[in-house]
């Protein structure tokens, strides 16, 4: 059975990848410092997968500890999800964001290289795309011109990985550009559960549904979109997790660097998400419009065709299905 190291494997995306890996016959090993996740996730993952999950409480920047883990377990490939992701926080403390996101990636690459492990999947983001590009966004579209240190950190890491692939032909590098991952495993046992401040739309809607917040703030109603609110490509987290397994399955087929978008190719406005949530749950979501959030784009929708063609991956679930699964955590 092949060991796949999942950095940030206790977090929202990494933990769902762990489930998909087990389902597909791989042995995930979690490397996480629990800075934005909870150790209790491990037991939940074991309950869902019915397997013992090996994990290490380790900061990826700690090269000494990393080295010991790589020595202990033969590693087939690494899925690198560890990193900070709160946009606002990244503006307030950019050094910390670069230090953690870029620093952890460099430490990881160095350790992988020393141990002759040359297969890595990196968690990137739609945020690297230039916002004035033709929609839907394609992998070969222009990137850069990022709007905040978080986005810049993803862009810098992509550039590092590109140079690495060019300079050393042993590497198989996959860059996964996530659009808007939402929802949770259908059991509802694990979910997006950050220690820090909330950032994204769905966790806010959930808080309103649970009456922990009185109303949702909708950031802007004057975008050039169908109803004036921002449009995004929401992808079910289980689909996204299976996308990682699809990359792992094919990672040895082609060396070099490949980039994939992970989204549905369809866009939903904030108001449409609110309406869909109300329809599926029967819970009313009070909202008020506020000014635009700095750094937001009007529309972000991907072309997922490359992932279909090369990985045979396609999102199976739509927004309604994603909300049906979210109902389990309410």
Residues that are catalytic: 150
Q: What is the DSSP string of 183-197?
A: ---TT-SS----SS-
Nearest 5°: CA angle at 36, between 296 and 322?
A: 60
Under the binding rule (CB under 6 A), the answer on residue 59 touching ligand NAD is yes
Under the binding rule (CB under 6 A), the answer on residue 125 touching ligand UD1 is yes
Cα gap 241→245, rounded to integer Å: 7
**Judged by CB under 6 A, which of 138, 219, 281, 321 binds ligand UD1?**
219
Cα gap 202→286, rounded to integer Å: 14
Nearest 5°: CA angle at 130, between 128 and 135?
A: 105
**Judged by CB under 6 A, which of 56, 97, 155, 178 binds ligand NAD?**
178
Beta partners for 232? 268, 300
**Judged by CB under 6 A, which of 137, 201, 259, 301 binds ligand UD1?**
201
Binding mask 67-106 for ligand UD1 (x = CB under 6 A): ------------------x-x-------------------
Q: What is the DSSP letter of 7?
A: E
Under the binding rule (CB under 6 A), the answer on residue 36 touching ligand NAD is yes
Q: Which residue, 79, 105, 97, is CA-closest to 178?
A: 79
Three-state DSSP at 10 gives coil
Residue 114 CB neighbours (<10 A): 13
Under the binding rule (CB under 6 A), the answer on residue 204 touching ligand UD1 is yes
Peptide linkage before 136 cis (omega within 30 of 0): yes
Residue recorded with tokens 């090996």: 54
Segment interacting with ligand UD1, rule: CB under 6 A, options 33-41, 73-81, 290-298, 307-315 = 290-298
Under the binding rule (CB under 6 A), the answer on residue 199 touching ligand UD1 is yes
Under the binding rule (CB under 6 A), the answer on residue 230 touching ligand UD1 is yes
Cα gap 242→238, rounded to integer Å: 6
- Scanning residues 200 to 239, which ones bind ligand NAD (CB under 6 A)? 200
Q: What is the DSSP string of 74-101?
A: --SEEEE--S---HHHHHHTHHHHIIII
Q: How far is the CB of 284 from ligand NAD (least distance, A)?
A: 26
- Closer residue to ligand NAD in complex, CB, 187/252: 187
Q: How far is the CB of 287 from ligand NAD (least distance, A)?
A: 21
- Closer residue to ligand UD1 in complex, CB, 167/224: 224
Under the binding rule (CB under 6 A), the answer on residue 326 touching ligand UD1 is no
Q: Which does 293 bind (CB under 5 to 8 A by kind): ligand NAD, ligand UD1, none?
A: ligand UD1
Q: How far is the CB of 270 from ligand UD1 (least distance, A)?
A: 5
**Judged by CB under 6 A, which of 295, 303, 306, 308 binds ligand UD1?**
295
- Closer residue to ligand NAD in complex, CB, 35/94: 35
Q: Which does 295 bind (CB under 5 to 8 A by kind): ligand NAD, ligand UD1, none?
A: ligand UD1
Residue recorded with tokens 């689909």: 239
Q: Who contacts 246 (Cβ-Cβ below 8 Å, separation ≥6)?
A: 307, 311, 312, 313
Distances from the Cα of 187 to the Cα of 40, 190, 238, angstroms: 16, 8, 12
- Return residues touching ligand NAD (CB under 6 A): 8, 10-14, 32-37, 59-61, 81-85, 100, 104, 123, 125, 178, 181, 194, 200
């Amino acid at each position: 059975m092949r060991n796949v190291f999942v950095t940030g494997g206790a977090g929202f995306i990494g933990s769902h990848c762990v489930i998909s890996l087990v389902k597909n016959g791989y042995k995930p090993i979690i490397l996480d410092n629990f800075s934005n996740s909870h150790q209790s996730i491990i037991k939940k993952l074991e309950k869902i997968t019915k397997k013992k999950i090996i994990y290490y409480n380790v900061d990826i920047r700690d090269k000494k500890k990393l080295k010991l883990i790589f020595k202990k377990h033969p590693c087939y490939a690494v899925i690198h999800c560890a990193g900070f992701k709160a946009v606002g926080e990244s503006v307030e403390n950019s050094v910390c964001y670069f230090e953690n996101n870029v620093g952890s990636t460099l430490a990881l690459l160095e350790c992988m290289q020393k141990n002759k492990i040359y297969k890595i999947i990196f968690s990137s983001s739609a945020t690297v795309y230039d916002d004035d590009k033709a929609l839907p966004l394609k992998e070969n579209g222009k990137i850069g011109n990022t709007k905040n240190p978080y986005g810049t950190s993803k862009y810098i890491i992509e550039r590092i990985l590109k140079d690495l692939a060019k300079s050393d032909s042993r590497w198989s590098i996959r860059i996964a550009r996530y659009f808007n991952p939402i929802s949770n495993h259908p059991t509802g046992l694990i979910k997006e559960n950050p220690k820090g401040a909330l950032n994204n739309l769905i966790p806010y809607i959930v808080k309103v549904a649970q009456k922990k917040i009185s109303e949702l703030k909708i950031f802007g109603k004057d975008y050039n979109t169908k109803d004036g609110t921002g449009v995004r490509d929401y992808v079910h987290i289980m689909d996204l997790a299976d996308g990682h397994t699809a990359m792992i399955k094919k990672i040895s087929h082609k060396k070099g660097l490949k980039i994939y978008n992970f989204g549905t190719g369809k866009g939903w406005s904030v108001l449409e998400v609110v309406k869909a949530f109300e329809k599926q749950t029967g819970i009313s979501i009070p909202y008020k419009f506020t000014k635009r959030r700095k750094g937001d784009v009007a529309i972000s929708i991907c072309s997922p065709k490359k992932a279909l063609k090369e990985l045979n991956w396609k999102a199976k679930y739509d927004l309604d299905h994603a909300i049906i699964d979210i109902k389990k955590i309410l």
